[in-house]
Amino acid sequence: MEGPAFQCLPPWVKAKLSPKAIECIQKVHDWVENECIPAEEVMKEQLKKDRWQTPPLMGELRRKAKARGLFNLFLPHHFKESPGLTNLEYSCCAEIMGRCYWAAQTMNCHAPETGNIELLAKYCNEEQKKKWLQPLLDGTASSGYSMTEPEVASSDPTQIACRMERDGRDYVLNGRKIFGSSLSNKDLTFYILMACSDPENPNKWARHSMVIVPVNTPGITHVRNLDIMGYDMAPEGHAECVYTNVRLPAENIILEEGRAFEIAQGRLGPGRIHHCMRLIGQCERAYELALIRSIDPRKRPRGKLIGEFDSNIERIAQMRLEIDSSRLVVLNAADTMDISGNKAGKYVIAQSKILVPSMAARVIDECMQLYGGLGLTQETLLPEMWTYARFVRLADGPDAAHRYQVGRAELQAAPVFREQHQRYQDKRNELAKKHRLQSGRALL
């Protein structure tokens, strides 16, 4: 466990890695360092030529990664294709993947594929699995996830309004969706979509269903592609789509009507951790660029290297601290899921989600600042990194929503502490009597 693949890992994490995981992390590291990062420019050029199609190089790298056993690393134990990594072990891989924006995709470990695969595996029947899951695992199909809507507050998903009605052997969809992958992507195969199938159900958590929507289904209108901070995020992209009497065979429903939240719940935890770890990998890369800038012999404002100013030395230490402490938070969340399950990890996952994206945006912004004007241009990867971090800060709900959730849970412990405090106070009063003090108001 020597070398750069492991150097950022805290000792307690290293001690928990299985030999298989160690080997896997090293392989992921070598793959990203040797096959992905050096190919970033070529990938960019191929995408320039045809923005809405998976670039040939991506196809090539995916085949190669699959051949090397680097496909589907995120899969939990119970999959036969799984390499058997724990959440903690896979998190170490995810950080390394994050060093190159698209590296996860070469290993079929990218969002929303990972979440979709878990979801389909957990909740589909055998026939559905054969039809929709297997091609994803094989890397021969590509999927999206569509929930957010422009007309409601989607951070409160019980408000999702896209209507889904049973009509004979079909479901009929009507509504408007934003985000999720773009239909412009010629390689997209299907969506998993959340819709409202029972708006009158008194239980608001039982009104929605999940359904599989093949991209070529008639009635779907692609309204526009959505940029993220000016980037089209091609070839996956984001889009606005209108569904007008879109007919789907009833067998496309997942589990059954009204169970969307049950299905969604299992989906998000690990995915958030993956996002966070990839962002940390990205931060490390940005940080390395900052260090390189710090010793760039051409840059000597007022006669000193950038890294010779003590203000910059402090900035570097601060970035190091923020990245390292964030990593500890996420790895602990992953470990908590391994030990006590995804549900127990709910709040540590939420904490990761609050902490990491804004930390990443802040750190990358500081790196841009150290690069001067150049740091904002396409000469560095920093603007794209910042944009990804900024996007993740909103994906799966804004910080405020997660803070609200954590804060609410915390407040449930308040009565326990009030009682504990009362016990302190009772003893204090006893002691005051014993010591003949004139005890005043309870000391808080």
* Stretch 65-124 residues interacting with its own copies (CB under 8 A): none
Which is closer to its own copies, CB of 79 or CB of 309?
A: 309
Question: Which amino acid is residue 428, in one-letter code?
Answer: R
Which is closer to its own copies, CB of 46 or CB of 217?
A: 46
**Which 150-209 residues touch its own copies, going by CB under 8 A?**
150-156, 159, 178-179
Is residue 103 within 8 A of residue 183, CB to CB? The reply is no
Among 6, 79, 205, 309, contact with its own copies (rule: CB under 8 A): 309
For strands 239-249 and 143-146, give the pairing. Answer: unpaired
- Residue whose tokens read 């899921």: 337
Which is closer to its own copies, CB of 250 or CB of 400?
A: 400
Is residue 16 within 8 A of residue 81, CB to CB? The reply is no
- Residue whose tokens read 């289904």: 217
Among 8, 172, 206, 226, contact with its own copies (rule: CB under 8 A): 226
Q: Give start and end residues of each alpha helix (H) in 371-434.
A: 382-394, 399-411, 414-434
Which is closer to its own copies, CB of 39 or CB of 136?
A: 39
How many other C-beta atoms lie within 10 A of the C-beta of residue 286?
28
Among 34, 125, 216, 265, contact with its own copies (rule: CB under 8 A): 34
Task: Select the span of 113-121, 133-141, 267-275, 427-435 touching its own copies (CB under 8 A).
Answer: 427-435
At residue 176, the 3 state secondary structure works out as: strand
Which is closer to its own copies, CB of 272 or CB of 390?
A: 390
**Which 325-344 residues touch its own copies, going by CB under 8 A?**
325-326, 328-329, 332, 335-336, 339-340
Residues 6+ apart with CB under 8 A from 123: 210, 254, 255, 259, 263
Which is closer to its own copies, CB of 257 or CB of 338?
A: 338
**Is residue 256 within the footprint of its own copies (CB under 8 A)?**
no
Among 6, 8, 16, 165, contact with its own copies (rule: CB under 8 A): 16
Taking the CA of residue 152 as centre, how many other CA atoms within 13 Å lie in the half-sphere pointing to its CB? 17
**Which 376-415 residues touch its own copies, going by CB under 8 A?**
376-384, 386-387, 390-391, 393-395, 398-408, 410-411, 413-415
User: What is the nearest approach in angstroms of its own copies to the Cβ of residue 82?
Assistant: 22
Which is closer to its own copies, CB of 23 or CB of 288?
A: 288
Q: How many residues bind its own copies (CB under 8 A)?
A: 132
Task: Select the span of 23-31, 68-76, 264-272, 296-304 touching its own copies (CB under 8 A).
Answer: 296-304
Q: How far is CA 301 from CA 176, 201, 304, 305, in A?
A: 53, 67, 6, 7
Q: What is the DSSP string of 184-218?
A: T-TT--EEEEEEES-TT-SSGGGSEEEEEEETT-T
Among 26, 30, 40, 163, contact with its own copies (rule: CB under 8 A): 40
DSSP state of 13: H
Which is closer to its own copies, CB of 87 or CB of 116?
A: 87
- CA torsion sign for 228, 231, 233, 234 is positive
Among 125, 224, 256, 341, contact with its own copies (rule: CB under 8 A): 224
CA distance 301 to 309: 10
User: What is the nearest approach in angstroms of its own copies to the Cβ of residue 268?
Assistant: 16
| Helix (H), strand (E) at residue 63 | helix 56-67
Which is closer to its own copies, CB of 130 or CB of 421?
A: 421
